[in-house]
């Protein structure tokens, strides 16, 4: 009798896992967000398992069907789209949150705004002294994240227009280390996620058109005026819409978007 009941529950559990559990895989930047969402979703009776591995890994798993949702911190690349087309899969894209990067300097720095071109010249090594951009006569020390980080690639793509950083940039293993170093180095410049901004460093206003400068805040990132913003995306197979929509709807709901804010990203709604 007992065994029968146990077997029944086990079968139910398996059924549950098989039908309702949504597998989410991909970007490590989106990972903490998806995990928090999955926890809250579990309290409502849903089930989602989240794993990292990088945006590329997530999209590759979506192609071979080993995940239901691919989480990504970048738009799908042309090459990836081409592969999906070759496999005759139709993919839907949902923006679940946004992430802004703030360009930060030492608080004693007089410079308070820079254009994209100036940033590119600083990070690629054409501008080496703060007096070239209206500051005091001080050597510019450039801090960056490690090459493996998604933030590194994103900044390179959007701000440096795919050019490589100069080879003498100091690369730090974590955002916390960048903040610490910029705090204690007068000529320092670096970039950190909006959520990490604090009073120990000064965030610069940035302009991409050379006319209007915008400070990085949740407001400017949300309305699209601050330019260094990346979407955090979920991709799924259109055929699986029914399976994944409860979870995605939850993420886009008010509760889900509150979680986005708690994790330090910018809500889309």
Distance CA 186, CA 250 (A): 45
141 binds other proteins (CB under 8 A): yes
Distance CA 49, CA 47 (A): 7
136 binds other proteins (CB under 8 A): no
79 binds other proteins (CB under 8 A): yes
Please report the DSSP string for 204-263 in residue order.
PEEESSSS--B---HHHHHTT-SS-EEEEEEEEEGGGHHHHHHHHHHHHSHHHHHHHHHH
177 binds other proteins (CB under 8 A): yes
Question: Which of 108, 184, 198, 245 lies at the binding interface for other proteins (CB under 8 A)?
Answer: 184
Question: Which of 173, 198, 219, 262 lies at the binding interface for other proteins (CB under 8 A)?
Answer: 173
Q: Are 230 and 223 in contact (CB under 8 A)?
A: no
Positive/negative CA dihedral, 147, 153, 159, 163: positive
Span of 5-13, 99-107, 167-175, 226-234 interacting with other proteins by CB under 8 A = 167-175
Report the residue number, 36 or 83, with the smaller CB distance to other proteins. 83
Residue 106, both tokens: 């030492």
31 binds other proteins (CB under 8 A): no
From the CB of 233, what's the least distance to other proteins, in Å?
17
Q: Are 118 and 127 in contact (CB under 8 A)?
A: yes
Q: What are phi and psi of 173, to 5 degrees?
A: -75, -20
Shortest CA distance to 109 belongs to which of 207, 191, 187, 198?
A: 187
Span of 29-37, 134-142, 208-216, 260-268 interacting with other proteins by CB under 8 A = 134-142
Residues 47-76 that bind other proteins (CB under 8 A): 54, 56
190 binds other proteins (CB under 8 A): no
Binding region for other proteins (CB under 8 A): 54, 56, 77-79, 81-82, 85-86, 124, 138-139, 141, 146-149, 152-153, 162-164, 167-173, 177, 180-181, 184-188
């Amino acid at each position: 009798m007992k065994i029968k009941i146990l077997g029944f529950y086990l079968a139910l559990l398996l059924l549950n896992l098989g039908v309702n559990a949504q597998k989410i895989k991909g970007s490590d930047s989106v990972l903490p967000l998806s995990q928090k969402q999955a926890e809250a979703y579990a309290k409502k009776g849903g089930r989602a398992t989240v794993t990292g591995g990088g945006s590329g890994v997530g999209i590759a798993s979506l192609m071979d069907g080993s995940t239901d949702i691919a989480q990504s911190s970048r738009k799908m690349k042309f090459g990836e789209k081409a592969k999906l087309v070759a496999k005759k899969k139709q993919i839907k894209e949902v923006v679940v949150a946004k992430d802004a990067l703030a360009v930060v300097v030492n608080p004693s720095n007089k410079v308070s705004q820079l254009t994209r071109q100036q940033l590119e010249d600083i990070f690629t090594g054409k501008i080496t002294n703060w007096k070239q951009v209206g500051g005091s006569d001080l050597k510019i020390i450039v801090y960056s994240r490690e090459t493996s980080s998604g933030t590194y690639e994103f900044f390179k793509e959007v701000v440096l227009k795919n050019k490589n950083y100069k080879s003498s940039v100091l690369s730090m293993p974590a955002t916390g280390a960048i903040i610490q170093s910029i705090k204690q180095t007068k000529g320092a410049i670096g970039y950190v996620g909006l959520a990490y901004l604090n009073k120990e460093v000064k965030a610069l206003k940035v302009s991409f058109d050379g006319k209007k400068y915008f400070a990085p805040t949740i407001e400017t990132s949300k309305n699209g005026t601050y330019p260094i913003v990346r979407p955090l995306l979920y991709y799924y197979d259109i055929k699986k819409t029914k399976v994944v929509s409860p979870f995605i709807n939850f993420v886009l709901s008010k509760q889900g978007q509150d979680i986005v804010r708690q994790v330090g990203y910018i809500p889309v709604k």
